[in-house]
Structure 1
């Protein structure tokens, strides 16, 4: 969390709200809560991440599973979903996410 506070330049309470409201998602796989750095762009959560996270959670994905899906190559996209989101293709990513339920 201290790294997120520094990266986002906001108080800890605001970081927790961003996570609670699905603007960011992280994992405790290593024992310490961590958010992939690629989810933060220019000191802010990637704007298209929230809707995609919600769509994946609605499809039954755990936080670990949805992080894996976002970061791994997706055949139908020809790249990882996070790369597609960064390129501005959120509709295509969310369309695929909704089919995963």
Structure 2
């Protein structure tokens, strides 16, 4: 199974999303951390349970580490990715939005999502469309 074609190249966006996220994992790293096969991780990427960006000179596919719970993707992430895409955000823009600190939240949207504030984060993501 090939790596998803949707993985955008972050450097083409000309932004600092790589530094904003901090910890990134390759597909094999995600598989090792969650105890599943790399094939399943690629399937999760294709099904949009996770987002990945191509980083670095070699444009290797990377997933933000904060997208993972102990046993796989953060459960509320998939629906939130869909809402962000429906709001017109590219994968790079979605990752940037999820990791940008927000003074009206306790931290970043990804932190609030991981803490169980799915409804509020999706409401804010839907508001991006307006």
TM-score of the aligned structures, taking structure 1 as reference length: 0.91
Work out the number of aligned pairs and report it.
101
Unaligned runs of 5+ in 1: none
Q: Which residue of 2 aligns with 1:99?
A: 127
Deviation at 1:77, TM superposition (A): 2.6
**Superposition pairs of residues 1-101 of structure 1, within 5 angstroms:** 1-30=27-56, 31-101=59-129
Deviations 1:14-62 (A, max 9, x none): 1111111111111113221111111111131100101100100111111
- Structure 2: give runs of 5+ residues left out of the alignment: 1-26
Rg larger in structure: 2
Q: Aligned to 2:32, what secondary structure does the other structure show?
A: helix
Q: Which has the higher strand share?
A: 2
Normalising by the residue count of structure 2, what TM-score does the alignment of the two structures yield?
A: 0.72
Runs of 4 or more above 2 Å deviation = 74-79
RMSD of aligned residue pairs (Cα, Å): 1.3
